[in-house]
Amino acid sequence: MAGRGFMQWAANCRTVRLDVGVATSEIIVLGQTLCTDLSSITPESTVTFHTVVGHEGDITVSVKNESPEGMGKDGGVTKMVAYISVATHSSKIDDKEVNFLFVDKSGDTIGVATLRMTAFYMSLDVDCDRDGVVEKNNPNKGSWQWGPDGHGAILLVNNDCDDYLLEMDPEHKNSKIDGPFDLEDMSRMAVRVRGPETLPEDCRLRMWVRPDDKERLGIFNLSDIEMLDELGNKHIIGPKAGYLAQVSYDLMMVRRDEGETLFAVEGLKYPDKDFNGTLRIHLSLLKNVTVPVFEDTVIFRMAPWIMTPNTLEPIEAFTCQMKKSENLDFINDFKKVVEAAGIKVNIVPPYENRGDRWMQDEIELGYSELPGKKPMPVVLDSPRDRGLQKFPKGKLLGPDFGYVTRYDQNEFVNSLDSFGNLEVSPPVKVDGRTYPMGRILLGSAFPTTKYGRRMMRVVRDFLYAQQVQPPVELFSDWLGVGHIDEFMTFVPAAGGKGFRLLLASPSACYNLLRKLKNDGHGDVLCFEGKTRSGESAERSISDLLDDSNLKAESLQCQNDIDWNRDVMKRELGLDEGDIIDLPQLFQLEDGKGAGAYFPDMVNMIVLGKQLGIPKPFGPMIDGACAFETNVRSLLEPLGLTCHFVNDWDSYHLLLGEVHCGSNTRRKPFDFKWWNMKF
Amino acid sequence: MAGRGFMQWAANCRTVRLDVGVATSEIIVLGQTLCTDLSSITPESTVTFHTVVGHEGDITVSVKNESPEGMGKDGGVTKMVAYISVATHSSKIDDKEVNFLFVDKSGDTIGVATLRMTAFYMSLDVDCDRDGVVEKNNPNKGSWQWGPDGHGAILLVNNDCDDYLLEMDPEHKNSKIDGPFDLEDMSRMAVRVRGPETLPEDCRLRMWVRPDDKERLGIFNLSDIEMLDELGNKHIIGPKAGYLAQVSYDLMMVRRDEGETLFAVEGLKYPDKDFNGTLRIHLSLLKNVTVPVFEDTVIFRMAPWIMTPNTLEPIEAFTCQMKKSENLDFINDFKKVVEAAGIKVNIVPPYENRGDRWMQDEIELGYSELPGKKPMPVVLDSPRDRGLQKFPKGKLLGPDFGYVTRYDQNEFVNSLDSFGNLEVSPPVKVDGRTYPMGRILLGSAFPTTKYGRRMMRVVRDFLYAQQVQPPVELFSDWLGVGHIDEFMTFVPAAGGKGFRLLLASPSACYNLLRKLKNDGHGDVLCFEGKTRSGESAERSISDLLDDSNLKAESLQCQNDIDWNRDVMKRELGLDEGDIIDLPQLFQLEDGKGAGAYFPDMVNMIVLGKQLGIPKPFGPMIDGACAFETNVRSLLEPLGLTCHFVNDWDSYHLLLGEVHCGSNTRRKPFDFKWWNMKF
């Protein structure tokens, strides 16, 4: 499809004008062809002409008669046109000369037109084989192709902070190289030129980018500095490169021996709604200071921000400690799950969480990756602005830990902006199309409703623009809090697709309660010893089954969950066999939407095979909670271990659970995003 | 490539929940499948079960055991799932019933789960075969494909004014049907429904569009009004449809006989940077007022705005008459060209042009086209704001004559925004890719320069977004006025590609002058009797040849023109044989760029085979102007007639010529834009 395509601003076949009796000087770049109309300068009495070429062998001259297509001499105009080129392998870059001798019928030369060429070899080079080598004039350098057989250079958004001791620059907009580690985050680019020692006076060798791109990258000239000793080198092209040099930079070095000048390029912006992720850098040889006579172009693609599903191994877990030991029981249970998983736990203290326990909602932990380098963790900070607001910049951002956020001050933040409402599926295959890094899932209102809550547009735009985990929008606005982690999660599982989708299910809960009643346990109490709003929360199984309001509300929620089930079956290519229903009841609060009636078991933390599940406080049958027994019977055959975490007072009654109150950093995919096929 | 794709908000396979001992009522839409998990409700002592179906023949029930992929019963969960569907051809829309009977080992039925279905047939339909018929449930209606074998419905931007007697609405933003001619500019859409006489109480049949699209189209319900008698019908969806109904509309009509409700859809915005031209309209059947249980979607593409090259036949020509007979000589010459072409001439009087003679610069005359209808002329009004500013809205906009403009108040208007700087090539073929309606050409500064002049971004974005004539940006900033029509034009020509590119050429002019001098005419005066800045403009041929400043400036301009020549050869697939050089000299004015030294012959008006060429006032040799003789010798063999128009005082000295001072409306292409292949 035609779009706003790339326009090469210098043609590979360039018109030059000669004249009889004159020696014309022109630049020729190896690989380029010069084209000159001889008929317009041929003396009238000419009957034949000869071409005399200096440096035979590496100069090619061909002369053609050109008429309009399909027409002979009668077409009005037939031109005699000469094409001159120098072999690209030519090692001689000295001046080259071609003479056109016009001869009359008596054999006398009645005029000579001379073309003197100053030859250049020029190449702008990048690592488009993704092997760490800046190849020489790779024919693929001007295009970018996805897939294992693809090619194309890659940039990382350099949004970590390698200068943390000197100057905290969380906006990662500085235009300096913050030492060798900062340089590690940048890609290499080279200019290779062979030609006369100095450029002809009116010529320039100019590196440039389109104005739109100057905010998206920064280029450093590495030949210019003693890097490791002297910090403070400036972008030569980039947002802070000074008023004159923002989009272009004139290079000074041309050498007779093939000189190579090395550059470092850093990415500054992720793909987004107005940026498809590809960036072009041009090198032009200009005549008369402004007119391009040759141009070389390389293309980079910005590495996307990638999310990690529950099926990836955990590295570290996060949760918050509240003041006055308020959630100490929770933290003790939580630590046991993390210990079982054998990973590090980070307990964020009260002075850092400032009373905000919803660690899931403030951040999403992902990563970005360059070929041949260690992936860089990058935190996406939600537009949500509560106690934990300063945590991602203040505590996560640092050396090799990047930070990104999206926020639109013209929109109001709502509960669907929290990242409990942002998840990602494991890798899936749908109707022959593979999603090797899964699909992002986020909750929305239906598009049919004008007044529903949705995630902030700029955040959704950002997520869609990353391309490699194409989002699926689910319906979560029916919930009061409105987060998809209130009704779904994924767990790793032996066999099948390697995972199961767990869904909260009122139907499954009623089936279980009915069976327990039929088995004679109707009088057993659920939620024993628990309170809600200062009153006892205890209810017998029969009492729950007889509550027709609760049933009607729960089954309406089942309907909403089933709608999401159907969308996920279609968009993730799932069968019923891939889905497990966990017993759960929901209630509606007037005007506030639905919420879990007892601790919402799908709102679990998944750390490898260790699951930290909200403790449901179900009816005790034969010394065990019947809800826990049911869940164990569904999940333990998959090789999973269920830990039940008491969050009733400290999270459940505040409308959240274990998942809402925690976060997990996971290992990146083994799969490399640039190997994806579209 | 994955982008922000279309998300269908209702799955074709929908989960329903049954229960033993209960009759469950559900909606089923013909073509949709219901899916229910039987294992979760199967009584424990069941050993087998039976399905009893009412209306045998048009209901299909299949029951499957589903486990995770590649796993047997050991996979933890195996589900028994029933799939129920009603044949799409079913003529019976009455209630349908399926009973699932659970049987124990003694053969007794120990439970029955009943599914009662209310069946609907629903279809949202458009003319996607482009034959004037709104087909029934065409399988292609949800996609759009280019090319002669393509499909997809089309909308016209309804930007003419059919209400000119009652209310001039040049912003064409009204939400009314302005009579039958207005309705002619709209496309038809139908909703076809067969079902129970009234919708179930909590159901809605809702038509809706994405919020972004509500400014791009307007939908009228034609069943609602006595159209021809009663004006003032409102958009049901669209920008002025009222606060509540902007994006969605609830339909009331459902009939037992297949009812059809007709809608008219008008386009309101051309494709642009943020709008790829396709629009989706959805029809959803909602349960519980908000939850979609079925969805149908149609897609429209907005007809693009199309430019007409010089090779298309002219319909009418425009020029301005200045006060005090200032340009009477010009108008007399101009009229002769138009008369020879046999078309209408429009002379815009002083009170309408308000002293602005540059008719080419204010407007570009193009068209838009719907299948099966007469193409509609549409004027693109430039951001330029001089005397003719009110002309396009005041005089061109009207019934069947549309109006569009693009303007960004945050940018300054500069001379490159004038439409003498906007042309279009004839149809071309480049490296196997065809451009059956040519390519748009516009002049810019080089991207390597930060300070150059360019056409306003919003205008360029608009031009690129039309897709069917992919633009080529040329370099025109070297000219003082900066318009591409100062150095190039296209003429129709027998043979070859059917046209020639004419380029202004200092080299050709010097070759001609030298030849004339060699032939003994060195003393003949050029520009005889003409003045410039109050002084005589007369110069002999030898004098011109000896002027080394003029030569250096002209040859520098030749260099700039050659650059454009090379770009056009590459981007339009031209050979030297397709290009004709017309003699022309240029001079540089300090700090103001280049301008024609004598009337600029390529700045001609092309009306079929009749050319209105600025009269160059060259040296008179053998009773004829040698410049005219040269031009005739180049163009007349192509079947063209050269008329030389005296514009020296009235245009040339004001830095413009015939083309700048005129405009032409041409016949549309025979080629239909939707038949283009990408």
Here the CATH number for the domain that contains residue B170 is: 2.60.40.1700
Higher local confidence (pLDDT), B146 or B174:
B146
Residue B126 has pLDDT above 70, yes or no: yes
Residue A521 shares a structural domain with residue A429: yes
Mean pLDDT of B75-85: 81
For B246-286, the pLDDT digits (tens) are 556 777 654 545 678 889 999 999 999 999 999 999 998 88
Distance from CA of A65 to the nearest CA of B (A): 9
For B22-49, the pLDDT digits (tens) are 999 998 988 889 999 999 999 988 998 8
Mean pLDDT of A406-418: 95
Contact map slice: B 176-215 vs A, CB within 8 A: 206, 208, 210-211
A13: nearest CB among B4, B566, B578: B566
Ordered DSSP codes for A325-394:
GTTHHHHHHHHHHHHHHT-EEEEE-HHHHTT---HHHHEEEEEE--TTS--EEEEEEPS--SGGGGHIII
Angstrom distance (rounded) from CA A252 to CA A601: 66
Give chain B's domain count: 3
Best residue in A517, A576, A634 to probe B by mutation, most B CBs within 10 Å?
Answer: A576
Residue A543 shares a structural domain with residue A598: yes
Cβ atoms A677, A434 nearer than 8 A: yes
Q: What is the pTM of this model?
A: 0.93
Residue B365 shares a structural domain with residue B490: yes
> What's the angle, vertex CA B61, arms to CA B58 and CA B64, rounded to 5?
155
Whole-number mean pLDDT of chain A? 89
CA distances from A37 to A64, A199, B199, B569 (A): 10, 27, 78, 14
Contact map slice: A 447-466 vs B, CB within 8 A: 447-450, 461, 464
Residue B93 shares a structural domain with residue B226: no
Distance from CA of B163 to the nearest CA of A (A): 32
The residues facing B262 across adjacent strands are B190
3-state secondary structure of B617: coil
Longest CA–CA span in chain B (Å) reads 126
Q: Are strands B499-505 and B531-532 parallel, antiparallel or unpaired?
A: unpaired
Distance from CA of B474 to the nearest CA of A (A): 9
Hey, are the CB atoms on B567 and A11 less than 8 Å from each other? yes
Mean pLDDT of A336-350: 97
The one catalytic residue in A58, A296, A361, A477 is: A361
Single out the residue of A302, A299, A300 nearest to residue A271, CA to CA: A302
User: Of B279, B302, B325, which residue sits at a domain end?
Assistant: B302
Tell the residue number behind the tokens 């004339």, with chain if given: B516
Residue B404 has pLDDT above 80, yes or no: yes
A212 given a catalytic annotation: no
A472 contacts in B (CB within 8 Å)? Answer: 7
Hey, are the CB atoms on B291 and A67 less than 8 Å from each other? no
Residue A559 shares a structural domain with residue A462: yes
3-state secondary structure of B234: coil
Residue B273 shares a structural domain with residue B317: no
Chain A residue at shortest CA distance from B210 = A447
The percentage of chain B sitting over the pLDDT mark of 70, rounded to a whole number, equals: 90
Give the pLDDT of residue B464: 97
Give the pLDDT of residue B605: 98
Single out the residue of A192, A208, A220 nearest to residue A244, CA to CA: A208
Tokens of A273: 């709604």
Residue A548 contacts B, CB cutoff 8 Å? no
Mean pLDDT of A562-570: 95
Hey, are the CB atoms on B511 and A41 less than 8 Å from each other? yes
Distance from CA of B450 to the nearest CA of A (A): 7
Hey, are the CB atoms on B567 and A17 less than 8 Å from each other? no
Tokens of B322: 């200045």
Cβ atoms B406, B459 nearer than 8 A: yes
Tokens of B649: 């005082």
Residue A292 shares a structural domain with residue A421: no
Residue A65 pLDDT level (bands cut at 50, 70, 90): confident
Contact map slice: A 406-425 vs B, CB within 8 A: none
Contact map slice: A 573-632 vs B, CB within 8 A: 575-578, 580-581
Residue B322 shares a structural domain with residue B431: yes
**Helix B548-571 to helix B506-516 angle, to the nearest 10 degrees?**
130
The percentage of chain B sitting over the pLDDT mark of 90, rounded to a whole number, equals: 71
> What's the angle, vertex CA A60, arms to CA A54 and CA A65, rounded to 5?
115
Distance from CA of A419 to the nearest CA of B (A): 20
Give the pLDDT of residue A517: 97
- ipTM of the modeled complex: 0.90
Residue B72 has pLDDT above 70, yes or no: no
Residue B433 contacts A, CB cutoff 8 Å? no
* Residues contacting B597, CB < 8 A, separation 6+: B550, B554, B584, B585, B586, B587
User: Of B120, B148, B181, which residue sits at a domain end?
Assistant: B120
Hey, are the CB atoms on A76 and B292 less than 8 Å from each other? no
Give the pLDDT of residue A389: 94
A35 contacts in B (CB within 8 Å)? Answer: 566, 576
Residue A74 has pLDDT above 70, yes or no: no
Single out the residue of B468, B479, B461, B466 nearest to residue B421, CA to CA: B479
Residue B166 shares a structural domain with residue B93: no
Residue A244 contacts B, CB cutoff 8 Å? yes
Q: Which of A299-303, A667-671, B280-284 has the lowest mean pLDDT?
A: B280-284
Give the pLDDT of residue A204: 85
CA A83 to chain CA mean position, Å: 46
A79: nearest CB among B3, B472, B576: B576
Residue A548 shares a structural domain with residue A438: yes
Distance from CA of B576 to the nearest CA of A (A): 6
Angstrom distance (rounded) from CA B637 to CA B494: 9
The one catalytic residue in A282, A483, A521, A643 is: A483
Cβ atoms A503, A581 nearer than 8 A: yes
Residue A566 shares a structural domain with residue A630: yes
Higher local confidence (pLDDT), B268 or A199:
B268
Here the CATH number for the domain that contains residue A80 is: 2.60.40.1860
Give the pLDDT of residue B95: 72
| Domain with A281 in it | 127-302
A565 contacts in B (CB within 8 Å)? Answer: 15
Q: Tell the burial category of A184 from Cβ atoms under 10 Å away from its Cβ (0-12, 13-18, 19+).
A: middle
Hey, are the CB atoms on B291 and A559 less than 8 Å from each other? yes
Residue B296 shares a structural domain with residue B422: no
A485 given a catalytic annotation: yes
- Kindly report the number of other CB atoms within 10 A of residue A162's CB atom: 22
User: Of A271, A302, A333, which residue sits at a domain end?
Assistant: A302
For A136-172, the pLDDT digits (tens) are 989 999 999 999 999 999 999 999 988 755 555 544 5
Contact map slice: A 36-95 vs B, CB within 8 A: 37, 40-41, 66-71, 74-79, 81
The count of residues in chain A is: 678
Give the pLDDT of residue B231: 44
A69 contacts in B (CB within 8 Å)? Answer: 495-497, 575, 577-578
Give the pLDDT of residue B357: 97
Residue A2 contacts B, CB cutoff 8 Å? yes
Hey, are the CB atoms on A17 and B446 less than 8 Å from each other? no
Hey, are the CB atoms on A448 and B284 less than 8 Å from each other? yes
Mean pLDDT of A382-388: 94
